[in-house]
Amino acid sequence: MPERTEKQARTEAILGELAELGLMLARELAVQARACEDPEQQVALAEAFHKTSRTVRLTLALDAKLDRDAAREARKAQKAEAEAEAQALRQAPPPERPAPSPVEARKERVRNLLWRPLWNESEGDSDEFEVLREDLDARLDEAALDPAFETDPIEVTVQRLVADMALTSPFTLTVGEPPPGKAAARQPQSADTG
């Protein structure tokens, strides 16, 4: 690419110089044609002026065409680069999301358990459901501040939230959570040495 740029710069310089020389020659021919009193020589000078001025116009037109071609090539290259980037993005694997923290995982589990009771409580009204869901999120954020949030059985956490929110719809503990007695049994018992 740098060679092409150098070549383009050299071509533009040559075309500029040719246009300047042609313009100077055309000016001289115009002065001579006006000053000439010999009709034959005046016709020859006028013809030379016409050819020279035409050459200047063609030189300028060629220079303008080269500029347009370079601009078009640059747009094509830019478009091809943008398409290549878009294609690479489409083919790239989705970014890995970090695993949620234990607190966030517990919050999500509680949300999932209370989704149906919230929906039933709102009687299918999506606006009311949103209000209840936002209320649940605020209560979960507050409950998560308690160190026992991660260790209490999830059923206990859900029952507290159901009572705090005065929900009347029942919730169902799904497979994947140990029953409350087993979760408590796994916690180490501290001996009272006091």
pLDDT digits (tens, 9 = 90+) for 93-141: 877 888 888 889 899 998 888 888 888 888 888 888 898 899 999 989 9
Q: What residues make up the domain containing 10?
A: 2-85
- Among residues 167, 165, 173, which one has the least CA distance to residue 142? 165
77 in a domain, yes or no? yes
Ramachandran class of 123: left when φ > 0, alpha when ψ lies in -120 to 50, beta otherwise: left
Q: Do 10 and 70 fall within a single domain? A: yes
19 in a domain, yes or no? yes
96 in a domain, yes or no? no
Residue 77: per-residue pLDDT: 92
Yes or no: say if 118 and 130 are a contact pair by the CB < 8 Å rule: no
Find the length of the chain.
194
Q: Do 38 and 113 fall within a single domain? A: no
CA distance 53 to 47: 10
Q: What is the pTM of this model?
A: 0.41
Q: Do 73 and 126 fall within a single domain? A: no
Q: How many domains does the chain have?
A: 2
90 in a domain, yes or no? no
Q: Do 111 and 173 fall within a single domain? A: yes
Is the predicted pLDDT of residue 183 greater than 60, yes or no?
Answer: no
191 in a domain, yes or no? no
